[in-house]
Amino acid sequence: MKKNLFKTMLGLVICGAFLAGCGNGGGDAKADDKSDGKVTVGFSQLGAESQWRTANTKSVQDAAKNNDKITLKFSDAQQKQENQISAIRNFIQQGVDVIAVAPVVETGWETVLTEAKDANIPVILVDRQITGKNVDELYTSWIGADMKEEGVKAATWLEGYLKEQGKDQEQMNIAHLQGTTGSSAQVGRTEGLEEGVKANKNWKIIEQQSGNFTRAEGKEVMEAFLKSSGDKINVLVSENDDMTMGAIQAIEEVGKVPGKDIIIISFDGTNDALQQIKDGKINAVIECNPLSGEDIMETATKIKNGEDVEKEVFVEEGIFDAKNVEENMPRPY
Ligand code: GYE
């Protein structure tokens, strides 16, 4: 079951080498220090901004609870990078075996992750990715989704849908609700969508702003879109289900019919969002899978034991729309 989550595996990392301070000259491996087989994982979760995030946190906590070899230290950063940096420093001070972090934004991790490396504590990136000079050397494994591919899927789905509706030659004005600015989820999904817009000469993004992945901000930003572009909007692409829920409320409040007057594409695949597909208010949801807890614990354990792990693990994902929604409900989150 769990193996089905894996789509692609890229590269191998020899953890033993990493733990021995490979390229960094840093002392004895943590794995050699203790022999009780127990693994202490410090997890810096970025926040609790969405249903996806809540499901991800629960998955991590349940996986730790169900594994008597794992001790989990959990910290919620409330969507603030500085809180994540302090949490990581705390984990280093406590001498955890492995640090897992879901990075709120892509940049600005070099200093603190170098501190972890200098302390010989391996790092697992969860969900989102990081960028910067030589950052590949600062983590052992990343487990998450291909965000750009998700954006591409949104555009491809829209092409197909418009063809089916006989609307592929019409002008399509797109309002684009983005996730947290500078997060790899926002950057990737935006890149994928914008490629699709470039390839379709009759599509245009007429509104684009972040709603920070929350329902409240999604509603607020959609209200602003409707105020300035009102009747011109044909399509809403919203980078997560929570913002989409808020946007639907805003659309209904101005007397428009979501899913009909405005085609709506969302990301994640919560049960609430699939219910909205059933109700005709959302046209498609690009799945993003938050259930990575067991994979994180398995990877942490392998790292502690000096076994090989994959450098990048992509989670497998689908697309939900009116054609397959019934067979995919209820959702686990
Ligand atoms: O889509 C959103 C959450 O990084 C993939 O973050 C994750 C995104 C997810 O807040 O709901």
**Ligand 1 neighbourhood includes 50 CB (under 6 angstroms):** yes
**Ligand 1 neighbourhood includes 128 CB (under 6 angstroms):** yes
Least Cα distance to 49 among 17, 76, 83, 29 occurs for: 76
- The identity of residue 274, as a single letter, is L
Give 100-116 pLDDT, tens digit per residue. Answer: 999 999 999 999 999 99
Look at the block and give the residue holding tokens 């594409």. 265
Pocket test for ligand 1, best of 126, 148, 238, 268 (most atoms within 8 A of CB): 268
* Distance between Cα 104 and ligand 1 center (Å): 10
Model confidence at 8, pLDDT cuts 50, 70, 90, reads very low
User: Among the atoms of ligand 1, which is closest to the Cα of residue 268?
Assistant: 1
Q: Where are the alpha helices (DSSP H) in the chain?
A: 15-19, 30-33, 51-65, 81-94, 110-118, 147-164, 184-199, 215-229, 241-253, 271-278, 293-304
**Ligand 1 neighbourhood includes 215 CB (under 6 angstroms):** no
pLDDT at 35: 55
User: In the chain, what are the domains?
Assistant: 39-144+290-316 (3.40.50.2300), 147-288 (3.40.50.2300)
pLDDT at 31: 43
Mean pLDDT of the chain: 91
Give 186-227 pLDDT, tens digit per residue. Answer: 999 999 999 999 999 999 999 999 999 999 999 999 999 999
* Distance between Cα 214 and ligand 1 center (Å): 10
pLDDT higher than 80, residue 58: yes
**Ligand 1 neighbourhood includes 288 CB (under 6 angstroms):** yes
pLDDT higher than 60, residue 30: no
Give 31-41 pLDDT, tens digit per residue. Answer: 444 457 899 99
pLDDT higher than 80, residue 16: no
Give 130-184 pLDDT, tens digit per residue. Answer: 999 999 999 999 999 999 999 999 999 999 999 999 999 999 999 999 999 999 9
